[in-house]
Amino acid sequence: MFLTDSEHTLSKEYLRQGYVIRPVADFEALQWMRTQFVRLVGESLETPLNGTPEEVLNHIHNHVPVAQLNTFRLKIIRGFNAINEFRQMYFNVARPYLEALVGNELAMQLRVNLSIQFPSDDSSLLPVHADTWSGDSPFEVVVWLPLVHCYKTKAMYILPPKGSDQLSKEFVARAGSTSEDLYQSIQSEVQFLEVRYGEVLVFDQALPHGNRVNDESETRWSMNCRFKGVFTPYGDKKIGEFFEPITLRAASRTGMAYRLPKT
């Protein structure tokens, strides 16, 4: 394969681990996004919050009751997805890693998602799952971007490729009757990922992953968005409905528009 040395290194790591963690490619874009979040939080709470952006986000659980968390989260999601340049900024933080791992003709999810997980709160759990189990294409990757330092139970976990392959072979025997049964069967094999503010995680959403109760003293804020090659197979989430092309090249545009002369 005609990959550069850096592309080869990144690809080997992704294939071995099922993910890569790298410094964001555009730190100014990340800072701009976090500024938008702090603004939206202040507008949502109708009061300015004192402290640095890190302090405001890490301790938002002191200002929002758990019972109002989902309503608050959805309001923030609507707010940043309504900003025209937001998805472009999101793409910019991971662009070189996506081009190396996925390709340079990409489709991007139409809306960026947000997870907010308060300390000791069990209402925001994402049980163990692989996105492909519910119809996503195995050709997709997830770009997971934290707005604060995420570590231990404040972060997400993933089952590496070897463990995932073994689970697939033994799924019926190990699945149990609940998602918690399934998690307990892989608990010793999963890896909790540490992703600092200023870093981006790109992972294979076909690998089992999820989160647990946040036992740390700070709130988790992380965004996620799916990307795939425009011309790779789609699952239940189709182009135009869930994805849109963002880096379609000129030859692809002319090729798609080409028609043989009428005879």
**CA 34, CA 51: separation in Å to the nearest integer?**
14
Which segments within 55-208 are labelled E, that is strand? 106-109, 113-117, 141-146, 157-158, 191-192, 199-204
Other C-beta atoms closer than 10 Å to the C-beta of 192 total: 15
User: What superfamily would CATH give domain 5-230?
Assistant: q2cbj1_9rhob like domain (2.60.120.620)
**CA 204, CA 227: separation in Å to the nearest integer?**
11
pLDDT at 124: 86
Q: For each of the chain's 263 residues, which pLDDT tens digit applies?
A: 799 999 999 999 999 999 999 999 999 999 999 999 999 999 999 888 899 999 999 999 999 999 999 999 999 999 999 999 999 999 999 999 999 999 999 999 999 999 999 999 998 899 999 999 999 999 999 999 999 999 999 999 999 999 999 999 999 988 888 999 999 999 999 999 999 999 999 999 999 999 999 999 999 999 999 999 999 999 999 999 999 999 999 999 999 999 999 98
**CA 151, CA 143: separation in Å to the nearest integer?**
17
Give SS3 for 192: strand
pLDDT at 48: 80
Domain ranges of the chain: 5-230
Which segments within 41-123 are labelled E, that is strand? 106-109, 113-117
pLDDT at 1: 77
